[in-house]
Structure 1
């Protein structure tokens, strides 16, 4: 039996050129798990977005693009290479849900190599349909389309797993040992309706300040509560006191109501409260990308300084940190045993 490991992340345009960015955004936004509207409305909305957004996004990608390519792809490749040394059951492959390398050709290549068992590892600590579910659905679509004989198991969300949390603390430790006034844990945002569709408890509070009192049933499908739980467990492990850190949500798109508090609002509030040196880390991402490097590292820093702050330091994602490689291997081996 050959047991492969497939790491899956969100994806990136092939280049920062407008045409490549437009193709990437079209594929991403037309996913019904991302923009959950009926197809005609989704097509209309995305077509309108694609009039101006690609040029704006292309400039943002250009500002953070590396000589080797997209930071997300480069960093994910480095993680893949280090994971191969940890995963002895078979090959370790990397795929992106959108863009290249796409899931379909990677799975076909694994089938050609005689792989019969697959552990699928969506690299998203917290669960959301727009990340975890769509990656799983695409993999299963390809398997069904081509009649592949894989036995598949999936790495579940690991937002509260000790291995992930310990790696998160260890990777951030050098920055936490420096002098700072406040740590902002900025997670990727999500439209509130994405959570309301999944959470059956009509009384669930999407404004709650913490995850205390959230039932296991709600926690299993509420992205916001999982983010809060990650932040709380991280702060406890890192030895942070309550007033030293806070949580926010970034990357809003469109006019729908998204989960709060918003990162851009918190940045202004913290500056107004006298915070001069702000640390920001993004625990919803395991690899640095446009949302961390450009949205926080560039635009967020400019906003903070304009609001009266002095320095915003971006804490890098775990990327290919040795502690994260070890943690991910442990999590994947545990998931593989579920078969």
Structure 2
């Protein structure tokens, strides 16, 4: 059996035009694991309201961060794929959950190269219903309908891997070297609180009070996004020797009126600035590739908000992107499934 690796990231519009953004948002937001309400309600919300109001605004935001080569997320993911491929003898393909670079195309590319066993690696360090789970479900559908002879191996969340924490910590330390920052904010993509409850395999053990996130041995931690974000922060803070009170965790990009994970990033930035913090840094560990949420929402809107409330220096730490040592982490994940060409230390 020939093996292959399929890296899967979120996706992007084909261009920053309102037409392409509308098409992309339609596919993304109609996913029942992204907006998890009954179909009639999701259709009314997405097609009746959001797609008639948001595409033009989102297109303007995409234009601010669009590169000559294309979407930053796509370009950076392709560069990461190339570097991972250099470390592996087996084929490495890249796909997106939404957009024109479909998972089906990624599978077909590997199958055409003779692969009958594929390991999927979602490029999300933390598990979430709206990210990792929707990839897994889509993969199952495609295998059943189009690739019945392909054996799939899944990759669990890698937020707690020592090599990942080491690389993430190193990337932060390099950016902050020589800077006299007062606070570092770990901003993760937000999800509705009900997503956490739906992913709770213990059927009610999660109390949404923040306490069970740090309880050792809890079974629901394997699928608890909030726990995995909190522990990512804790492990990085420990690796960098950060003192309590000099760092915190927040959640960004909420949508609608239902309660989402708190504290919210924009309100936290505002609170820190009003509290007298003049120099802060921000890192976004839920994303491995810089994208709209990091380049526009954080690096532009976040900095503007910080300055409005009296802040001075706002340092944005890049995502891991196509760092050589991060590519090695992904290769290490593959190595645990099948040997790689080289064994390098991070």
- The question of a shared fold, defined as TM-score above 0.5 by the shorter chain, is answered with yes
5+ unaligned residues in a row in structure 1: which ranges? none
In terms of mean alpha carbon deviation, does 100-109 or 18-27 score higher? 100-109
Match of 1:218 in 2: 220
Is contact 2:289–2:319 with CA below 8 Å preserved after alignment?
Answer: yes
1:109 CA drift (Å): 2.5
CA positional deviation for 1:219 = 1.1
CA contact (8 A) 2:93 2:109 kept: no
1:71-121 deviation per Cα after TM superposition (whole angstroms, max 9, x unaligned): 000000000000001111x21110000002111122122222211111100
Q: How does 1:292-331 map to 2 (within 5 A)?
A: 292-331=294-333
Rounded Cα–Cα distance in structure 2 between residues aligned with 1:157 and 1:335: 15
Whether the aligned pair in 1 keeps the contact of 2:129 and 2:199 (CA below 8 Å) is no
Q: Is the 8 A contact 1:155 1:335 kept in 2?
A: no
In the other structure, the counterpart of 2:343 is none
1:335 Cα deviation (Å)? 4.4
- Distance (whole Å) between structure 1 residues aligned to residue 137 and residue 204 of structure 2: 27
Q: Give the corresponding residue for 1:278.
A: 280
Match of 1:49 in 2: 50
The CA distance in 1 between the partners of 2:205 and 2:139, in whole Å, is 34
Contact 2:206/2:212 (<8 A) preserved? no
Asked whether the 8 Å contact 1:214–1:225 carries over to 2, the reply is no
The corresponding residue for 1:11 is: 11
2:171 match: 171
Which whole-Å CA distance do the structure 1 matches of 2:209 and 2:50 have between them? 29
SS in 2 for 1:243: coil
- Quick check: 2:273–2:310 contact (8 Å CA) kept in 1? yes
Where do residues 196-215 of structure 1 align in structure 2 (5 Å cutoff)? 196-199=197-200, 200=202, 202=204, 204-208=206-210, 211-213=213-215, 215=217
Partner of 2:245, secondary structure, is helix
TM-score computed with the length of structure 1 as normaliser: 0.96
Q: Give 1:165 shift.
A: 0.4
Q: Report the 3-state secondary structure (helix = DSSP H, G, I; strand = E; otherwise coil) of the residue aligned with 1:144.
A: helix
SS at match of 1:93: strand
Equivalent of residue 231 in structure 2, options 229, 232, 239: 229
Normalised by the size of structure 2, how large is the TM-score?
0.94
The verdict on how the C-alpha distance between 1:97 and 1:243 changes in structure 2, with shifts beyond 3 A counting, is same
Distance 2:239 2:45 in 1: 43
The corresponding residue for 2:129 is: 129
Q: Distance in 1 between matches of 2:147 and 2:131?
A: 24
CA contact (8 A) 1:210 1:228 kept: no
| Alignment map for 1:1-339 (pairs within 5 Å) | 1-47=1-47, 48-88=49-89, 90-177=90-177, 178-199=179-200, 200=202, 202=204, 204-208=206-210, 211-213=213-215, 215-336=217-338
Instruction: Name the CA distance, whole Å, in 1 between partners of 2:313 and 2:256.
Output: 29
What's the secondary structure of 1:7's corresponding residue?
Answer: strand
Out of 104-113 and 204-213, give the one that drifted further. 204-213
Instruction: Give aligned pairs, total.
Output: 336
